[in-house]
Amino acid sequence: MSEPVKETRAMIAAMAAELQPGLFLFCSTDDPVLAAHCLRPAIAMMAEAEGLSFILPVGEASVLGFDDRMPMRQITLTVHSALDGVGLTAAVARALADRGIACNMVAGFHHDHVFVPEDRAGDAVEALGELQQDSG
């Protein structure tokens, strides 16, 4: 794996917005039994004061009884962004906000991931591609 990129313009210029297959739901529960069933299919989990939040594939979330009215698509920013890099999240959120696209950012160790409403995924990938081109 490459070295993490820290400088804002370099992160944006090096990122590619890669649309991942599948649909995902953000879910939350304070029920420990239900939470245990969420662990295996979850692609992310966060402990919050109200309970455990999960990002689940829509099929598994529906089977577990979660509300499936807001399916999201995942876009991976393929740049290996440094955990202490400044500005990538803000630039991505601004580019999407300028087009009226809601986004939920999740940082992994190697990459940032953007979750957007299913029906706006194509617009989001286009906006992020333009952001990347404009940064170089």
Per-residue pLDDT tens over the stretch 6-19: 888 999 999 999 99
Per-residue pLDDT tens over the stretch 31-74: 999 999 999 999 999 999 999 999 999 999 999 999 989 999 99
Q: Are residues 76 and 127 in the same domain?
A: yes
Q: Are residues 136 and 76 in the same domain?
A: yes
Q: Are residues 96 and 53 in the same domain?
A: no
Q: Are residues 136 and 81 in the same domain?
A: yes
pTM: 0.93
Q: Are residues 9 and 52 in the same domain?
A: no
Domains in the chain, number: 2
Name the residue among 125, 25, 136 with its Cα closest to residue 78: 125
d(CA 83, CA 101): 25
Domain residues for the domain of 117 are: 1-22+72-136
d(CA 94, CA 36): 36
